[in-house]
Amino acid sequence: MAAARDHFPALRREESGRQVAFLDGPAGTQLPIECIEAMVAYMRTSHANTGGAFGTSAETDRVLSDAHAATADFLRAHDPAEIAFGANMTTLTFAFTRGLGRDFRPGDEIVLSRMDHDANLAPWLTVARERGLVVRWIEVRPDDATLDLDSLELALGPRTRIVAVSLASNAVGSLTDMGRVVEMAHASGALLFVDAVHAAAHVPIDVAAMRTDFLVCSPYKFYGPHLGVLYGRRELLERIDTDRVRPAGDALPARLETGTLSHEALAGLLGTYAYLSSLGRVSDRSAANGDRRESLRAAMMAIRAYERELTAPLLSGLASVPGIRVLGISDPARAAERVPTVAFTVADFHPRRVAESLAARAINVWDGTMYAPELMRALGVDASSGGVVRAGLVHYNTTDEIDRLVTALTEIVAAGS
């Protein structure tokens, strides 16, 4: 762990003489030095647009080609052309749903999840309103904030066109039983759209094994720059009527990538993959001489295993603080069913007050509704109350930081401030 943390310069930050504990990863992780240096190197020597006859343009073309190929390896897609980049997942999803929705007819049905971030709800709700679609919902079990897949079965029908669901909740950390979702969605004839933005930092993703039709994620949630990624099966992407400038043509991925991309961010993403690949080779001897695809998978397997070791002490520690209520799976024995992102409330404390008190102790956490309004309502959290406090761990966090969090919360509750 010490060796891994050395790759992240931000982890050396100190405030008021204390090293900062970055427990804010769900909104964006810190960057490894490989990512930072790759971005700087590109901007220093290769900054250009694509398609030119000169050297810097050719170098930029290679960066884009390599970024598509590396992301296909990270998601275990068959074809780099099945990968599209954009400014962020939200922008990509709004554009994608508009294109896909042109094939929908009034009365067609879409199925959404009340567990999801609004970026996987609002775009679909917009299309439903514009195209006269019927929206049906997968409900949430309020006792443990997991999806009620019996309600998915009830929501599916002969006119269901799409099922949109998250692999992991960005707010409470619950994982979705994607095997069951895929089986039910495809059995009904529907397409499956998976929001893996939160999951991508925590679990290995294999779009082929998952058998999803589409998947989105955000590199800045898994140690990369601010970008969005869309995967789709090639034969489906080629049929979508996207908005684009005419010279872009019909070829993939250009038909999905509107305008000039952030080339420096894509260079940085390649640096992120280089870091993860090195982590995979160190953590799994069988991947030491393997290709990038295998070393990336080994890295994510190692990250998943390490983070599961962090989840139990995090849940147990929070349970020891008087007045704390964890939303979602709180039993340490069920760590395999969640990622180490925990939302909680503190009795008689506004969430912002808790976050500010922790920040004064150099501990970064988030507060609010986490852009998950449907989930908060399902769990009985009134937005006017300030929502929840969210502490999220990633693989550069440690048990010492968990101890700091628990100690600080205990002090805050005892002092009343």
pLDDT at 110: 98
* φ and ψ at residue 356, rounded to 5 degrees: -65, -40
* Percent above pLDDT 90 for the chain: 92
What is residue 284's predicted lDDT score, i.e. its pLDDT? 79
Residue 288 predicted with pLDDT over 90: no
Q: What is the pLDDT of residues 184-205, one digit of tens each?
A: 999 999 999 999 999 999 999 9
- Of 60, 56, 80, whose CA–CA distance to 70 is shortest? 80
How many C-beta atoms lie closer than 10 Å to residue 348's C-beta?
9
Summarize pLDDT for 75-102 with one digit per residue, the tens. Answer: 999 999 999 999 999 999 999 999 999 9
Q: How confident is the prediction for the chain on average, in pLDDT?
A: 96
Contact between residue 52 and residue 62 where contact means Cβ atoms under 8 Å apart: no
CA 95, distance to chain mean position in Å, is 18
Say if residue 16's pLDDT is above 80.
yes
Residue 357: both structure tokens together: 């008190």
Tell me the backbone φ, ψ of residue 222, rounded to 5 degrees: -130, 50
- Distance of alpha carbon 204 from alpha carbon 388, whole angstroms: 28
Q: Are 342 and 390 in contact (CB under 8 A)?
A: yes
pLDDT digits (tens, 9 = 90+) for 23-48: 999 999 999 999 999 999 999 999 99
Q: Which residues pair with 19 in a beta bridge?
A: 14
- Please report the DSSP string for 97-128 in residue order: HHHHHTT--TT-EEEEETTS-GGGTHHHHHHH
Q: Is the pLDDT of residue 232 over 80?
A: yes
Q: Which residues of 57-69 are buried (b: 16+ CB within 10 A; e: fewer)?
A: eebbbebbebbbb
> Is 342:402 a contact under the CB 8 Å cutoff?
no
Task: Return the pLDDT at 177.
Answer: 96
- pLDDT at position 287: 67
pTM: predicted TM-score of the whole model, two decimal places: 0.96
Which of 145, 151, 86 has the alpha carbon at shortest distance from 112?
151
Nearest partner of 196 among 251, 119, 137, 139, judged by Cα: 119
- Count Cβ atoms within 10 A of the Cβ of residue 186 and give its class: 0-12 exposed, 13-18 middle, 19 or more buried: middle
Q: Which residues pair with 392 in a beta bridge?
A: 24, 341
Higher per-residue pLDDT: 405 or 254: 405
Percent residues over pLDDT 70 in the chain: 99
Q: Is 218 exposed, middle or buried (0-12, 13-18, 19+ CB in 10 A)?
A: buried
Token pair of 380, please?
A: 């009985």
pLDDT score of 165 more than 70: yes
Could you tell me where the DSSP H helices lie in 242-391? 263-283, 292-319, 351-359, 373-378
- 344-360: per-residue pLDDT in tens? 999 999 999 999 999 99
In eight-state DSSP terms, residue 31 is: -
pLDDT at 77: 98
**Cα distances (angstroms) measured from residue 8 to each of 35, 223, 350, 370:** 10, 9, 32, 25
Domains and CATH numbers, the chain: 2-23+307-412 (3.90.1150.10), 36-271 (3.40.640.10)
Question: Does residue 200 come out as left (phi exceeding 0), alpha (psi in the -120 to 50 range) or beta?
Answer: alpha
Report pLDDT for 286: 72
| Closest among 172, 114, 201, 233 to 391, alpha carbons compared | 172
